[in-house]
Amino acid sequence: MTNNQSTKGLSRIDGRLKVTGAARYSAEFAPAGMVYGVLVGSTITKGTIKSIDSKAAERAPGVLSVITHQNCPRIAGYQVEPGKKEPEKGTYKLFYNNKILFNGQPIAIVIADTFERALYAASLVKAQYNAAEHNTRLIDQKHEAFAPEGDGTSKRGEADAWKTAPFKLEQEYIIPSEVHSPMELHAIIAKWDAADRLTVWTKTQGVQDTRDGIASIFKLPRENIQVNSKFVGGAFGSALQVWPHEVAAIVAAKLVKRPVKLVLGRADMFTSVGYRPHTWQKIGIGATADGKLVGITHEAIGQTSAYEDFNEGPIGVSRATYACANVNTLYKLSALDIGSPTWMRGPGEATGAFALESALDELSYQLNIDPVELRIINHADTDPESGKPFSSKYLKEAYKLGADAIGWSDRKTKPGATAQNGWLVGYGMGGGMFGAYRDKAAARVVMKDDGTLLIQTAVSDIGPGTGTMIVTIASEEMGLPAEKIKFDLGDSSLPLAPSQGGSGTTATVGSAVYQACTDLKENFQKLAGNGGTDKPDYAAILKRNNLQKLEVTSTTNGGPERDKYAMYAWSVHFVKVLVHPATGVVKIDKAVCVADCGHVVSPKTARSQLIGGAIGGIGMALMEEVVIDHRYGRLVNNNFADYHVPVNADIPQIEAIFVNKPDPYINPMGAKGMAEIALIGMAPAVANAVYNATGKRVRELPITPDKLLGKDGAMES
């Protein structure tokens, strides 16, 4: 599908619900007797709680309870088995002891009959601490970084072979911490239906994974827990696990014997639901005069919390993206007094691609070879890691589509050679890759005698248009108009579905729906007998057989093709920037994003997905940065006034292009995921364009005016 086709396809089936306010998100339910919880956070970064005074809060109007580590009911899953030692590291245990591990750590929850009363009472909770020396600065802890589980190293061919190349460079690249910043705040309503039965409405990317996480923490049978998440207002990885605020609400509901609603404030979203980790990287890369890569060495150190090792793995892209015989990588973690990072859109690959794609661009100037041509010279025809053939790969075609659309032929090799209305003009590009995954899933399809089809699966929809994709598959397979199909999702009691993450939903859940529809059609053909046709009248067949409905549940999983082929999706981003020489302001003038992601099932929502990821990459490049006052270990820009994300004025019209050639092996639709590749590679594309415009190479994101201007206020080169 090319861009002139991108408006074709089914419109969002839930679009009207969302724009009219009829869609109900997790915080919008109201079970009878519901009360409200508000968390109290630590004001120090490391140490212990000496005492907590909650008496004033407890006496405040409407307050039902105040829970701290001193009176928290026993949480079964937190307890250490007799005879075993407390593990040194693990997931954070809420209200477990008096230790403070990061600034803003929840030390209490106040429950009251209104939100306003709970908020006021929370301000009355006072704590005294024994503060300890803390460290929240990655650069200070680099020397103490350690390898994650395993040795953290990988070597293919000769180590540091890049040093022997006639053309080479070694540079450091840094990205700051970035937060997910979804519109919808994290929220949960917890309701105990019996002593061992629980219902929750919560923001999650996977209702069944959340159910299983709660079951593990509270030692409940999975079948006794009902998790609902019908609509999710963005997540980007922030809702892939059970967080402490969810545990707090569940504990509080049990204690006060009423449903408890807890909604995080925007500031809490910066400390309580993960983020992309601050990461230092160093790349050594070398090539021959004709552009063939001789070697790549990629080192990285990523921050993690002191209590849990989070392994993002940014170095994988250097092993798998280009044909290079000699690649060695080293990844380490730096434990800081912060909350744990987590997966964020394009996890690992987005981080690593900034370093790799920037270094490759730098090398292209040394070689005097066009950046696109350099990538084509080093195109991997088979998987560099495994040697397996790719299930499909049309990256060279994507390069051409993107270059033609951006006007790459207008790019000047010499930086700063082009101006437009007083602004410097630059062109840049960057590539992205991400594994194409297919997991186990099930779907139930029910054809009713009124001619309508019901599809049920537990998958969540965090915004990409999952329901639209599912209905499109069913409509095409069953030969039914979309208005005759209803999709039921976000309910843990429905058939199996994994969390929505890793760009695997279409391949995984879509395959189950496709198979269920195929099986249902076969059953109808048996019912119809000799009267079966390619387009059966389902309602008539049911009535003829005195049936009110016909139902099928099918389960699918990836097959042996996973062992035979390397499966990836690819992207390439092209950017034209304007840079003001006097102020250092960077404007995105044009962006073209090309995805090689197999068959595009739902063109409209896929286009939105590709554009949305690109906008996230622009934010990563130009503005997103968590700032910590390291004297106190406290975030200073934990709000949307000071933590900048792109707004409409920052974004031009982005052209989304799809190669749209089916993958013959991954699933029946031939579709591969594209949510991650929509972002991966965009940040280096912007950085490379800025260099082409100015001659200034920025290797530490975000690219802000101060990094482009010299001490005298003039543009540096």
Longest dimension (CA), the chain: 86
Q: What is the CATH number of the domain that holds 425?
A: 3.30.365.10
Same domain, 495 and 612: no
Opening angle at CA 319, ends 316 and 323, nearest 5: 145
Distance CA 180, CA 345 (A): 8
CA distance 213 to 222: 9
Mean of pLDDT values over 461-475: 95
354 and 248 in a common domain: no
Nearest one of 662, 674, 255, 205 to 437, comparing CA atoms: 674
What pLDDT is recorded for position 7? 46
Q: Are 343 and 499 in contact (CB under 8 A)?
A: no
**pLDDT tens by residue, 240-292:** 999 999 999 999 999 999 999 999 999 999 999 999 999 999 999 999 999 99
Please state, in angstroms and rounded to a whole number, the distance separating the CA atoms of residues 21 and 14: 11
Does 55 share its domain with 87? yes
Domain match, 343 and 289 both: yes
Q: Same structural domain for residues 542 and 573?
A: no
Q: What is the pLDDT of residues 430-446, one digit of tens each?
A: 999 999 999 999 999 99
In terms of Cβ atoms closer than 10 Å to its own Cβ (0-12, 13-18, 19+), residue 306 is middle
Q: CB of 331 within 8 A of CB of 393?
A: no
3-state secondary structure 17-72: HHHHCCCCCHHHCCCCCCEEEEEEECCCCCEEEEEEECHHHHHCCCEEEEEECCCC
Q: Which DSSP symbol is given to 85? A: P
For residues 380 and 396, membership in a common domain is answered with no
d(CA 622, CA 431): 18
State how many domains the chain has: 4
The pLDDT score that the predictor gives to residue 713 is 60
Residue among 184, 299, 477, 676 flagged as catalytic = 676
**Above 70 in pLDDT, residue 1?**
no
CA separation, residue 80 to residues 69, 98, 218 (Å)? 17, 17, 13
Give the torsion sign (CA, 418, 420, 426, 427): negative
What torsion, rounded to 10 degrees, do the Cα atoms 344, 348, 349, 355 define?
A: 110
Q: Rounded mean pLDDT of the chain?
A: 95
Q: Tokens 């990072």 correspond to what residue?
A: 341
Tallying the residues shown for the chain, one arrives at 717
Domain-ending residue, one of 494, 528, 557: 557
Q: Is residue 495 part of a domain?
A: yes
For residue 583, the one-letter residue type is: T
- Tens digits of per-residue pLDDT, 288-342? 999 999 999 999 999 999 999 999 999 999 999 999 999 999 999 999 999 999 9
pLDDT of residue 88: 84
Q: What is the pLDDT of residues 372-427, one digit of tens each?
A: 999 999 999 999 999 999 999 999 999 999 999 999 999 999 999 999 999 999 99
For residue 522, pLDDT over 70 is answered with yes
3-state secondary structure of 350: helix
Inter-residue contact 173 to 167 (CB < 8 Å): no
- Single pTM value for the model: 0.96
Q: How confident is the model at residue 3 (pLDDT cuts 50, 70, 90)?
A: very low
Angle in degrees, CA 293, 297, 301, rounded to 5: 145
Type of residue found at 52: I
Residue 457, CB-side half-sphere exposure with 13 Å CA sphere: 36
What is the rounded average pLDDT of the residues 78-92?
89
For residues 294 and 241, membership in a common domain is answered with: no
Q: Are residues 139 and 128 in the same domain?
A: no
Q: Is residue 4 part of a domain?
A: no
Q: Apex CA 237: angle with CA 632 and CA 152, to 5°?
A: 75
Q: Is residue 223 annotated as a catalytic residue, yes or no?
A: no
Q: Is residue 562 part of a domain?
A: no
Using pLDDT thresholds of 50, 70 and 90, give the confidence band for residue 2.
very low
- In this structure, the answer to whether residues 345 and 396 fall within a common structural domain is no
CATH of the domain at 71: 3.90.1170.50
Is the pLDDT score of 717 beyond 60? no
Contact between residue 638 and residue 701 where contact means Cβ atoms under 8 Å apart? no
Q: How confident is the model at residue 8 (pLDDT cuts 50, 70, 90)?
A: confident
Do 668 and 699 belong to one domain? yes
> In terms of DSSP bridges, do strands 327-336 and 293-305 run parallel, antiparallel, or are they unpaired?
parallel
Residue 8 lies in a domain: no
**H-helix or E-strand spanning residue 603:** helix 603-622
Position 614 in a domain: yes
Structural domain includes residue 467: yes
688 within domain boundaries: yes
**Closest among 179, 182, 225, 221 to 203, alpha carbons compared:** 182
Q: Quick one: 587 and 691 in the same domain?
A: yes
Same domain as 401, residue 375 = no
Give dist(CA 711, CA 281) in Å, integer.
Answer: 26
**Boundary-marking domain end, from 265, 282, 298:** 265
Q: Which domain holds residue 622?
A: 388-432+567-717
- Specify if 539 maps to a domain: yes
Last residue of a domain, one of 509, 527, 557: 557
Give per-residue burial for 193-220: e unless 16+ CB within 10 Å, then b: eeeeebbbbbbbbbbbbbbbbbbebbeb
pLDDT, tens digit, for every residue of 560-609? 888 999 999 999 999 999 999 999 999 999 999 999 999 999 999 999 99
- Name the pLDDT band for 4 (thresholds 50, 70, 90): very low
